[in-house]
Structures are given as structure tokens and as C-alpha cells.
């Protein structure tokens, strides 16, 4: 059996200046929050540690990515790269084997299974020190060197706070400067599968966006309604690339030296793709081979060059970097071959409300599409200056949070501390997860999030001067 080591109680409780406990509030119980809690509890033997996960839905381990209840929505990363523990790459595979799931390390598990895996891993380190609080945190106030964490009905104190609030809903769709008004046919939240499932069996649906969330929406709609039709539309009309059935070894490559520009970086990738091809190695291995170097390269780019990367090269990178599982890609090809799915390039020209349905004009297509639903799959919103999330608004107002200069999320230091309004670190306030994209670029997938969670847990535990377990949290096989 594979288990996590349980913390052994320290001989004496540690005394803290603010009381008997070091209290950590983790805001958000998706993958980022749960991995942070696992690391805190697993790395510390301190009986004075208290970890509270505040999760709006009350159910931890799911978040947006793993909260789907459609088993056809697969991970877009192979099992062997999705372990909760970077130093135990086989952990998810072992868990899958023990629980009667796929044994194949190259497999792409259903995303709902990954939620169960995270829940199981949390349960193994959970003890009296963990509390799960159902409810949305809408304010955090710095008071006398610690924080008040406020929800609608409660205020609790914390010595450290970790923002693991994850993805924001997509920005509203805008046409001619006006937001699309609410309508019965308008699905503003692409992760609300219930809104898709009530559609008629023969509905035509316009999906705005062609990324991985749009692909999920298409799979649910067309698998559950064999007579439905979907029109996907995005500016370029490009679907994510697909993984190939067997992964090849990452192409290890030198990174450019000296001053770096976005164009130089793009040239470098193209050169490497050509060099790899001469050895019979595909472009996927080049993209995967750059994974570890991506954040250091991003940090070397001056701000203007990061802007140029976003404007000119990011799209090409993203469709190749975030890929569909082969099974999902095969389904999508199948729908296209059957004529049930069209993928179009171009913007929405107009959307006319016709009561129970809408008429959508796309690019310069001569005829409008009559659709029973239009789904906003334009991707998670990142610009916190335009967010109406009460917590983000409050944190900005209090000077505890600043947007990163590219408006991809929030400004953080390398150690995960938030940068306050005067450009200084806010001691005790950290972020883990997609909100750090502006600082790190690669900050959305599990391989990066698990490393962030471990690093932030270490920094928090170092503040408590509490007895720490030596080494990383890891799965062990008892003799």
C-alpha cells in the first residue's frame, strides 16, 4: 500500500506570538488550494499548525478544471506528468492502479478522476489541524501583522493567507462596444454543463472560442445529442493541436544566450523544430523540451518584448503547448467528418435575439446561423482591473494586490508573495496557481502548480519556525 507519512506530534506545542496556533487560510479549494494544504500538512509535524481551506462550493479538489461530471472530459496531460508530487512521478499512476483505473502512464484520465485523486491525497494528510470552510471569501484585511478573512457570515484570523482562487469566468461577449445582454439562449458560463444538457436534442449551438474549454463543450453537446449541430468560431478558427498516442522524449535544447527578444525566441523555436525534424523528432518534443526553460526565458524578456510575444507569437505557442488528448481529437475529427461540427474563422458580426433562439452572423458568411444557444468559450478572464470578483476588488482597494503589468493576473514575487500597491511584498500573503501567469507565464498546469504549492508551503512553515518534516512530502511504500 502507498501512503503518506503522517506528521508525528512534536514533543511540545510551539508557542506563537499571536497565540497557540499558526493559522493558514487557503482561499480556494481547487487543485492549487488542495495541493498547498497537502504540502503544509504533510511537511509539518507541528500540532500548532492550523489550515483552513475556504471553498465557495464547499467541495474541495475539483475547482473549474476537475469539477466536470462528464467522464469524456479527459486530462490534457498524461498521467505520468500529473502526480501531486514532483518527486514521485508515479503517484497518480499508482493511485489509478490501486483504484482500478488505467495503468498506462501515457493515458489521459477522465478529469473527474483527478478530483478524486486530489481528495484522496488530502484525506491522507488530514487531521485535526485541517478545517474545510464552505463559503466565498469576499475580503481579507491586514490587522496587526496578521489577517482577517471575511465571508458573508464569518470572520476568522490567519497568520498567513494563500490566494488559490483560480480561474475567473470569461469576460462577457461584446459586440459593437456593447455587452451581449442576458437571454435564454446565451450561456455565459461554459463550465455550467447543466445549461447545455437542457438543450433540445436537435439544437444548433454556436460556440464562441476554439480552445480546450470549447472542445469540452462540443464533446458534451454532440455525444449527448446525436442530432445536434455545433458551429465553433474564433478569430483564427484554429483548434488546439492533439497529443500523439505515444509520447516521445522531450527534445533537450540549448536556450539562446544574451539579450532576448520575442522574435529571437520564436526563431529559436522554429530552428529547433527544424533541427529536431532532421533527426526524425516531431515538434511536440521541442515544445515539451522547453517546458522547464519557459519561465526563466519569460523572465528574461523585457516588458515590451513580453507584450510583443503576446501580440505576435502567443497564439501559435498556446495551440501547440495546450493539446487535446488523442481520444478527444479523434472525437472532434469524427464530428467534422459527419458534418455535425464546423470550425470557422472570423468574428461575430451580429447576434440578433429572436426570443427562444438567436441569429448569428459570422465574418463575411452570406447567411446567418439560427442557433438555440450561444456559448461563451473565450477563455478565463485574467484582467483583475475589470474583475467584479468581490475578493479581488477588496484586496485591490486595500492595497494588498496589484495587477501584473500585462494584466494576465496578479503581481507576485518569485517566492509567491503578493506585491502591494507600493511595489513591496505583502508579508504573509501568497498566491498559487493561474493568477501568477504574468510573472511566470507557465502557471496554469499541475506540473507548475504542484511546485508552487510546495514552495509556498515551505515559506509559510519557515515563518512559523515550527518543526518541519525533513525532505519533501512524498508517497512512500512501507517495507
Cα–Cα nearest to 216, from 113, 315, 328, 106:
328
Beta bridge partner(s), residue 110: 74
Q: How far apart are CA 83 and CA 147, in angstroms?
A: 32
Alpha-carbon distances of 430 from 33, 161, 397, 471, 473, rounded to whole Å? 11, 6, 17, 22, 20
Q: Which is nearer to ligand FAD, 406 or 449 (CB)?
A: 449
Closest CA to 39 of 450, 405, 376, 353: 450
Smallest distance from ligand FAD to CB 108, Å: 8
SS3 at position 140: strand
- Which stretch of DSSP H or E encloses residue 47? none
Residue 244 CB, nearest approach to ligand FAD (Å): 17
What SS3 state is found at 419? strand
- Nearest approach in angstroms of CB 188 to ligand FAD is 15
Residue 214 grid cell: 470549447
Considering beta carbons, is residue 189 or 421 the nearer one to ligand FAD? 189
| Pick 212 or 440: Cβ nearer ligand FAD | 212
Measured from the CB atom, is 164 or 410 closer to ligand FAD? 164
Strand, coil or helix: 51 = strand
Q: How far is the CB of 86 from ligand FAD (least distance, A)?
A: 13
- Write out the three cell numbers for 399: 492595497
Closest to ligand FAD by CB, 134 or 255: 134
In whole angstroms, the minimum distance from the beta carbon of 479 to ligand FAD comes to: 33
Judged by beta carbon, residue 50 or residue 243, the one nearer ligand FAD is 243
Alpha-carbon distance of 421 to 141, in angstroms, equals 14
In the complex with ligand FAD, which residue's Cβ is closer, 111 or 340?
A: 111
Q: Least CB distance from residue 347 to ligand FAD, whole Å?
A: 23
For residues 168 and 338, the answer to whether their CB atoms sit within 8 Å is no
| C-beta separation of 109 from 70 below 8 A | no
Select 116 or 349, whichever has its Cβ closest to ligand FAD.
116
CB of 38 to ligand FAD, least distance (A): 13
Could you list the residues that contact ligand FAD (CB under 6 A)? Answer: 27-33, 54-57, 63-65, 75-77, 111, 136-137, 164-167, 212-213, 391, 433-434, 444-446, 449
Strands 204-208 and 229-234, bridge-based pairing: parallel
CB 80 within 8 A of CB 106: yes
Closest separation in Å from C-beta 192 to ligand FAD:
12
The residue (of 136 and 320) whose beta carbon lies closer to ligand FAD is: 136
- Given a contact cutoff of 8 angstroms between Cβ atoms, the answer to whether 422 and 456 are in contact is no
CB of 170 to ligand FAD, least distance (A): 10
Tally Cβ neighbours within 10 Å of residue 86. 16
Q: Are 31 and 446 in contact (CB under 8 A)?
A: yes
Amino acid at each position: 500500500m502507498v501512503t503518506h507519512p503522517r506528521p508525528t506530534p512534536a514533543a511540545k506545542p510551539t508557542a506563537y506570538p499571536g497565540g497557540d496556533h499558526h493559522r493558514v487560510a487557503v482561499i480556494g479549494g481547487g487543485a492549487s488550494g488542495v495541493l498547498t494544504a497537502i504540502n503544509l500538512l504533510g511537511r509539518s509535524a507541528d500540532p500548532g499548525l492550523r489550515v483552513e481551506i475556504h471553498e465557495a462550493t464547499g467541495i474541495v479538489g475539483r475547482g473549474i478544471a476537475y469539477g466536470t461530471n462528464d467522464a469524456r472530459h479527459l486530462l490534457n496531460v498524461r498521467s505520468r506528468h500529473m502526480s501531486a508530487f514532483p518527486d514521485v512521478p508515479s503517484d497518480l499512476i499508482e493511485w489509478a492502479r490501486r483504484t482500478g483505473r488505467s495503468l498506462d502512464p501515457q493515458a489521459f484520465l477522465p478529469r473527474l478522476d483527478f478530483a478524486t485523486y486530489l481528495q484522496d491525497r488530502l484525506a491522507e494528510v488530514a487531521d485535526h489541524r485541517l478545517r474545510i470552510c464552505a463559503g466565498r471569501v469576499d475580503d481579507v484585511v491586514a490587522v496587526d501583522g496578521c489577517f482577517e478573512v471575511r465571508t458573508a457570515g464569518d470572520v476568522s484570523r490567519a497568520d498567513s493567507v494563500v490566494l488559490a482562487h483560480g480561474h475567473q469566468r470569461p469576460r462577457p461577449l461584446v459586440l459593437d462596444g456593447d455587452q451581449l445582454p442576458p437571454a435564454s439562449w446565451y450561456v455565459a458560463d461554459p463550465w455550467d454543463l447543466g445549461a447545455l444538457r437542457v438543450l433540445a436534442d436537435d439544437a444548433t449551438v454556436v460556440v464562441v472560442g476554439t480552445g480546450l474549454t470549447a472542445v469540452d463543450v462540443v464533446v458534451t453537446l454532440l455525444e449527448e445529442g446525436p442530432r445536434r449541430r455545433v458551429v465553433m468560431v474564433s478569430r483564427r478558427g484554429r483548434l488546439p493541436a492533439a497529443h500523439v498516442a505515444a509520447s516521445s522524449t522531450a527534445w533537450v535544447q540549448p536556450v539562446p544566450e544574451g539579450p532576448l527578444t520575442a522574435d529571437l525566441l520564436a526563431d529559436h523555436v522554429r530552428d529547433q523544430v527544424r533541427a529536431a525534424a532532421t533527426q526524425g523528432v516531431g515538434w511536440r518534443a521541442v515544445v515539451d523540451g522547453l517546458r522547464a526553460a519557459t519561465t526563466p526565458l519569460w523572465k528574461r524578456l523585457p516588458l515590451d518584448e513580453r507584450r510583443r510575444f503576446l501580440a505576435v507569437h502567443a497564439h501559435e505557442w498556446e495551440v501547440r503547448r495546450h493539446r487535446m488528448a488523442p481520444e478527444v481529437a479523434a472525437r472532434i475529427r469524427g464530428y467534422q467528418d459527419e458534418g455535425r461540427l464546423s470550425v470557422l474563422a472570423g468574428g461575430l458580426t451580429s447576434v440578433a435575439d429572436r426570443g427562444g433562439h438567436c441569429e448569428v452572423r459570422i465574418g463575411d458568411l452570406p447567411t446567418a446561423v439560427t442557433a438555440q444557444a450561444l456559448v461563451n468559450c473565450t477563455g478565463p478572464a485574467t484582467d483583475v482591473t475589470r474583475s467584479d470578483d468581490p475578493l479581488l476588488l477588496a484586496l485591490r482597494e486595500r492595497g494588498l494586490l496589484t495587477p501584473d503589468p500585462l494584466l494576465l493576473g496578479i503581481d507576485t514575487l518569485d517566492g509567491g508573495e503578493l506585491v502591494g500597491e507600493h511595489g513591496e511584498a505583502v508579508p504573509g500573503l501568497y498566491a498559487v496557481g493561474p493568477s501568477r501567469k504574468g510573472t511566470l507565464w507557465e502557471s496554469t498546469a499541475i506540473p507548475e502548480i504542484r511546485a508552487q504549492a510546495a514552495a509556498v508551503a515551505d515559506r509559510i512553515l519557515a515563518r512559523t519556525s515550527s518543526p518541519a518534516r525533513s525532505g519533501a512530502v512524498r508517497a512512500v511504500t512501507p517495507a
